[in-house]
Structure formats: C-alpha cells, structure tokens
Structure 1
Amino acid sequence: MGETRQMPPRHFDRERVRALRRARNITLNAVAQALGVGLSTATGWELGTTVPDGEKLPAMASFYGKPLDDLFPRSVGELPDLADLRCDAGYSQYQTKELIGTKSAGPVANAERGKRRLSERFHRPLAAGYKVTVEELLAAQERSFGYAAPAPAASRDTPRTAAEKITYLLEHSYPGAQVPPSDAEIAEAVNKHAGAQVTAEDDVRAFRTGTEPVLPPIVGEGMAELFGVSPMYFQTDDTVTRQVVEGLRLLAAARKGSVGRIEARGLGPEGLSEDVLAFVNRVVEELAGQDNPGVDRRGSEKGPSSRR
C-alpha cells in the first residue's frame, strides 16, 4: 500500500478554465506569469496535453477569483490524504522541508507514499503550514497509508434500538447449524420468566421489526434470560446512565457512613438492577472494612484472639 497517486487530487476542467480566461480577456502569457510557469506549460493545460500539478490549483483559483472547491472540486465523498493537504496549501513536496525544518523533504515524501509515518515533531509545524488541525493531518496520513480515518465515538455496528438489539442477538448468538428461536418461542420464554402472560407472538414480532419501539422492562428481562445476556443490554443508554449515577451517589454516601447495606428497593424511576445492587453492596462492604479495621465484612468486632 502507499503507492504514488495515479489520479490528480482535484478535477481540472480545461474547458471551464479556458472559458473563464477568455471571458475576462486574459492572455495565456498573463496566466503563466501569475503562476510562475512557462507559456508552453500554461498552453498545455488548456489543450489537454498536460494537467497542472496539484499545488498550482489554489493559486489558479485565486487568480480567477474562485473558491478552490468550486473551480477544482474533489470527487463526491473523497477525503484528502497528505498529498491533498499539501497541494491545497499550495506547497510542492520539495518546499515542505522549509515547513518541518529539515534538509530534505524525505519525511513528507515517505509519509505521502505510505512508507513511513511522520515523526511527532513534524505534526504541529506541518499542520500549521497546511492550515489544518493536527487531528486532520493525522487522519489524512492514515488515508495515505490506505486506512480510513478513525471512526467517531460510536460504531455503526452497535445496536441502539430494541429491534436492532433483538436482531443482533438472533444473528450472532446461534452459530453454525443452530437455529434461533421463533417469535412464538421467544414469547413463551418471556412469559415463563414473568410467571404470567405479558407478551405474545405478534408483540415479539412488533418489537423485532421496530413496529413497536418500546420494549417493556419485564419483556426485556425475559429476553435477556433467554439469550443469556445482562438485563442492562435491553435498557436504554439513559437508563443505564441514571443507574450508574445513582450507584455512585450511594457509594459516596456509604463512604461518609450514612448508608449501610442497600436493599432492592426503588431508587429513582427505574431503581437499580440486581447487577448494580450487588456491585454497590460489595464496594460498600469493602469500604466499611477499610474504614473500620476492627470490624470484619460481616459486621462482627474482631477480638484480640483474631489478630495475628
């Protein structure tokens, strides 16, 4: 990977450029002088025998008073690599040695070709020269090496809705010849868990397809038991967050000695799940033991004979 670019980073439309020049009554010689090239070079651009180097396009767009992205657009959805950033800043590869303070442009050339990543000491000066952030520079570098930019915080594969979560389990929990349960079998398992008729085959189908987006807690608990996952899997992000916050508040109170063992009672609109309760109680007991060396985790005082 990391081979030299085969196509120019931006689309050069010679017909449009020529029409612009003629409409403004500008000679090719004036264009050549403004861009620092020979007349034959500027002529070749309009004839289509050659195309401008990428670093010439910003100056040409400025000369014609047009935005770079307007006059020389990228392909739809294409993101810049290191060479693109350099060209958009108007630098030749050779000129980058002045930006990074080296005797040669080798470090930039190697990074653009996907051979060796830039040293960290080159990140800030190069980003400043290209007028981008360091993060944008590093993302472009990864594209030069054939890799996509890092994904934003949440993965697209992470199931969010109840329908996505059920579908994900059905598709990933039964490998090989195993057959996932039907909607009717899921409903039966949930009702068995609840000890009552709380759902039916049609309801499960509605949850699975997203026709009914709200999954009742008791149904989520039954599905969690059936698929062998934590009940928190079917809870919304907000619900989990509230439980964590409530748990942290209780821990803080326990640290101050104002809360003993926590009972499974309503704490907020959802209350704490059994998993969270168990975890919080374990920590409360450990805190009590640390703060009271003379008391063991069962609350009994240690006598002299218990000390070694």
Structure 2
Amino acid sequence: MRTRQFDGKRLRAARRARELSQKDLGAAVGVKGPAVSRWEDGQEFPKGEKLPALAAAVGEPLDALFPADGPADLHLLRCDAGLSITQAAEVINASRVPVSNAEGGRRRLSEAYVKPLAQAYGVTEAELLAAQDVSFGVRPEGSRDGPATPRTIGEKINYLVQHGYVGQEAPSDEEIARLVNEHAGTTAVTTEDIVALREGATTEASDAVRAGLAHALQVNVGLFQDDAELGAEDRQFLESLVFLGSIHRGQILGLAARGNGEGLSAEMMAKINEVVGELRHKLPEAPGSE
C-alpha cells in the first residue's frame, strides 16, 4: 500500500512559516489543535486523506511537503483526492468492501466502478486502472521501485532463485529438474525445459511440473498456479524475500552510513528484528539446517 512520507518537523516548519497556530491548522483539516501537536511531535500520524488539506492549508505543494514513495496505487489516489474509504464507497453507491478489497489487492474493481471513481479521484480511467495494477503487485514498466512482481512460471522461478536463497547457493537448472522429477515420480521435465521456462521460450507447464517446481523451490504450490496475478499473501511472501535479502546484504543496516550519523533507532531495529522473526520460516532452509 503506497503512502506519502510524513515528517512532523517539516509540517511544523511550514505551519510556522505561514504564521498559523496548531488550532488554526487543525480547523482547516477538521481536527483539534492537540491532534496537530501530536502529529508534529511524531506521536501520531494523520490519515492519508488529510495530507492534501494539510499541504493546502500551509501553502505547500503536496509532493514537496509529503513526497510519495513509488508509483501510485488505489490507496494513494484515494488519499490524494482527500477521500476516506467510506466517502469513496458512497461515490459508487456501495459498501466499503469493493474499495477496501481493491486497495488491498484482493479483488479488482467492478467495471461499473471505474469511471465514477476515476472522476472522484481526479484521474483518467487509464490512470485508475494502472494504479489498480500497482495495488495488485504489477509494477509499471520501467519502475525502479524494487523488482517487478513475477507473473509467468519462468519469472517466478527466476525471482525465487535470485531472492530466495539468502546466504546460500541457489539450485541449478539441473538440480531443479531433478527435484521436479523426483516429486513427480517420473521424467516430467529436462534441464532444457527448465531453461526454456526461465528464458520465456515457453510459458506452459503441466500440473505435475508446477507442483514439482513448488517442491523444488520450497514454496506453496499456489505460487505456481495458472493465474498470472498473485494473491496478496503470495505477493507478501515474495516481498519478504527481497526484504530479508536486503538485510543480509547490509542495505538496510547500511542506512546509517547515508546521512544518518546516529544510525537506525532502537525502535526501528526492534521492528526489523520482529519482521525478520515473523518471516524467517518462509525462507528456503539452508542445507544441513535443523
């Protein structure tokens, strides 16, 4: 889910430059002064749909005051329009469920909802559909925001081989073929077949091969089902591999060396440790591990 970066100190500076009190700013966005104080002190964060009104109240461009992180998804479009989920649901005369499901990457919007939501969000229908793709893990072409979510069988193999073996050697094409055949109990694929899948020369595979690939790469068989579009849980799993790989390579811990002399806070380190603990069991086991 895409969000904008919020910095309470930056908001405070912009408010003071505008000679507004916390009470004045709160009134402009429909909250009390103490809420603004908590935002500026970093104790709480405003809802995403409040950010456009905050930026307008202090006379700052939204993108300058609250930069967006990556390409827009449905959540970001709604928030940038200043709408809550309830208000967006009212636009399409429905419950909150269709909007919530689409933003969470669980079920796409009905075709009948696309036009009214695009109008409410102030974007074209094409832009809304592109944002919906982002919500479902499909990254725009040329995006630098991490590796693209794999869709074909070969892309999924490549993704798992590249990101799923932190600190250990990934299986070769020959090894993958052997494990697939071992699981199938017959010669279902050759090494050349695996290469063809990974290079995109072929995109078809039998159910036995799909199940064997899941066995060989130690993932849930659902990851290799026919549907090109991955479910939210599968996308979370794939993102977790990249996240843990970044930790292993020192990219996250290396943040301390890039303009932050104090390093990561104890709270951030605790959060990283918590996430690592939650996701560790999802990684392929290292050879010889217990």
Name the TM-score class by shorter chain.
0.3 to 0.5
Question: Higher Cα Rg: structure 1 or 2?
Answer: 1
Return the structure number with greater relative CO, CA threshold 8 A, min gap 6. Answer: 2
